[in-house]
Amino acid sequence: MTSTPQRALSFFAGGADFATLSEIVEVARAGLASDVRDFLDGGAGREVTLGRNRDAFERWAYRPRVMTGLGVPDVATSFLGIGLGLPVLTAPFGADGLFHPEGHCAVARANAAEGAVSIVPEGGSHAMEAVAAAAPVAARIAQLHPMGDPANFAAMLGRIEDAGYDAVCVTVDCPTAGWREGNRRNRFDPDPAVISGNYPAGGPVALEEVFGQLFTRTEPVWTWAQLGERMAATRLPWMAKGVLTAEAASAAVDAGASAVLVSNHGGRQLDGTPAALDQLPEIAAAVGGRAQIALDSGIRSGSDVVTALALGADAVVIGRLAAYGLAAAGEAGVRRVHQLVREEMQTILTLLGVGSVRDLGPEFLQKVQP
């Protein structure tokens, strides 16, 4: 009698519906209305910077070490005093209700399950208190925009502290909305409810008071000195999001920032800027040791995470990937994004001969000749 041999090895150990990140993106894009899909996919202007963000990762090649005797790589680290089971934060992308009704509440629950941390948006579909209640272990950083009435800004800092957040992310590259051709062509005009979770109709502060500057451009832009003075009112550490030069990174740290987020807003603000990854080495040289560094803009895989960490980032921030996961399958979709990123990272670290993400450095990379 011949027995059927059991399968001893499977190269796909996920057991979930999505085997790759690209499948998640495809399912998400297929399920979104065309204007919402363009809003998520698109960038500013002619989308030059959007393309540069991706091209930048292709200019680096790995320098692996072999026969190292190392075991399973450790992908845990910390950022702003917050432990991370995965060196990933999710971006404070607004209008999250466009992608799933539970928005950042679902993102935070997924992060809690997979060891990531949420940066919770000011312009989200759910109040920061609701997101914190949904997953207090993951909803650790709250985002603010430095604009408008300083009294409103101060009130939000108080709310952030009262809700139990551990840090603040201040978006410094968005004094006005970027010129987004696709959104204009589509006459994209979503219901204000998708960005008013923190400023509901009839509340003490009107949505227009906070975000009106993004569209009217009537208020003066805050300075680093003003931001530093206003952030001194909170006991929480803060990160400046949207830094692209060594000069800006140094100014942020001088103003009191404990971390900088190297970012061009995913190519969605000022078209024609360099790729965020290209700017990372100069910023690491300028503020490394004085502040922690995160990177967003262009992260699409576990391999991208490894490259960013090797070039000086302490963590990465994913925006579109998290939004695609949310649109594809809600909380489960975001969890699967993290699982696939972790699996790919551990594979690459093993092949590189690196035992921990904390051991990554530029010696594991070389520039690819054009």
Catalytic residues: 265
CA atoms of 90 and 296, how far apart (whole Å): 10
Strand duo 365-367 + 60-62: pairing: antiparallel
CA angle, 73 then 358 then 52, to 5°: 100
CA atoms of 38 and 67, how far apart (whole Å): 46
Selection from 286, 280, 275 nearest residue 312 by Cα: 280
For 278, the token pair is: 């290209």
Backbone angles phi, psi at 293, to 5 degrees: -130, 130
Q: Mapping DSSP to helix (H, G, I), strand (E, B) and coil, where does residue 125 land?
A: coil
CA atoms of 221 and 171, how far apart (whole Å): 13
On whether the CB atoms of residues 170 and 260 are closer than 8 A, the answer is: no
Q: Residue 216, Cα to own-chain centre: how many angstroms?
A: 27
CA atoms of 352 and 355, how far apart (whole Å): 9
**Please, how many CA atoms are within 13 Å of residue 353, restricted to the half-sphere of its CB?**
11
CA angle, 186 then 192 then 197, to 5°: 135
CA atoms of 62 and 366, how far apart (whole Å): 6
